[in-house]
Amino acid sequence: RTELVALIDAGCVPGPRWLEQLLAALEGPPPRDVVFGVVRPETGSLFTSCLSTASLPAIRLPNGRKAMSDSVASLLLRRVVWERIGRFVEGCRTGEDVRFVHAIYTSGLVVGRSPEAEVTWEIPRTIRGTFRRLANYSHYSLEAGLASTWHYRVFLYDAAALSLVVLAMFQSAWWLALL
């Protein structure tokens, strides 16, 4: 058994020096308990670029580039942390990573980030594939009790858009320009 645990998500492809970069950041200085790498969506078309911009939470890296916020899709941690936090919640089809990252940040651990440790994540290339993935995420996130992670915000956006459509129906089509 090793004293380190590396995590990468399904559909992700690590860069050539991904693990080496995570390990260097974990060892420090200063030494850390957990290091997040960078997850960058694979955007080969206008559709996937727009989808990643609209739907993925982003952070700005020290070099000015944007990447997905901290995720277990690119992560290295010490085994004692893995054991102490309690691993992933069994039986969750989605959302276990959200809970795990929350546990990392609320456990008083020394957390770092390695912008050079990059994985690319394949996102859906069609509207149908996007809808299917989001429907699955939504269903299992609600089942896991994680509605506050994004459902409420999406509901508010949809309610605002619907209000503008209703106004346009009864007033003028100019309201639709606000969408």
In tens, the pLDDT along 9-33 reads 888 999 999 999 999 999 988 999 9
Decide which of 94 and 123 is more confident.
Answer: 123
Structure confidence at residue 153 (pLDDT): 72
Q: Which of 73, 84, 76 lies closest to 39, judged by CA? A: 73
Quickly count: other Cβ atoms within 10 Å of residue 32's Cβ. 21
CB atoms within 10 A of CB 70: 21
pLDDT given for residue 11 in this prediction: 84
Per-residue pLDDT reduced to its tens digit, 113-148: 898 899 988 888 888 988 887 777 777 777 777 767
- By CB atoms closer than 10 A (0-12, 13-18, 19+), residue 119 is buried
130 φ, ψ to 5°?
-65, -45
Pairing of strands 58-60, 12-14: unpaired
H helices within the chain, ranges in order? 18-27, 46-55, 79-85, 96-106, 127-143, 151-170
Percent of the chain with pLDDT over 90: 27
CA gyration radius, the chain: 19
Q: What is the pLDDT of residue 104?
A: 92
Residue scoring higher pLDDT (82 or 178): 82
